[in-house]
Amino acid sequence: MGAFRLLSLLVATGSTGLVAGIVLAYANSVMPGLAKADDRTFVDASQRLNTAIHNPLFMAVSNAALLFTALSAGLHLPADHRDVLPWTVAALVLYAVTLAVTLAVNVPLNNALIAAGDPDAIPDLRAVRERFEARWNRMNALRTVTAVAAFCCLLGALTARASS
């Protein structure tokens, strides 16, 4: 059981770290780079990125982060592992917020941008961009903070487990 507890915590930490890295990369490089593009390029590139991110690997990693963090919290419920529990519960809450923001705001914005259609056929690219960019970036900043904080909590859990 001890090896399974550790494995669940390692998978939770690794997958959460990967998701945190993705949202941080968008916040730190992708979106600032696209901010400098003209409206057509911005809409076209954003549509392509949002379509590409919906793939089995990303979904597996994203779901693994949630499932293995929850599993790890549950496996650390026994009294002899309670030093890890606060860290994993905090990570679970933070990652749940990350997913809630993603599903409630970022995904609908992505879908609306994709539904706008071919950038060459959109009569008002500026309006499409304005409905998307600022709000998407604000919510991505929020989920970057929560995902990175969840990852840090899981690192704290690993540290607590190693010192117990």
Cβ within 8 Å of residue 51, ≥6 positions away: 114
Give CA separation, 11 vs 3, 75, 140, in Å. Answer: 12, 13, 24
Residues of the chain short of pLDDT 70, as ranges, are 1
Q: Using alpha carbons only, how large is the chain's radius of gyration in Å?
A: 18
Q: Provide the pLDDT for residue 163.
A: 84
Determine the structural domain holding residue 98 and report its residue range. Answer: 2-163
Predicted pLDDT at 34: 98
Return the pLDDT at 2.
Answer: 84
Question: The whole model's pTM is what?
Answer: 0.94
Q: What is the number of domains present in the chain?
A: 1
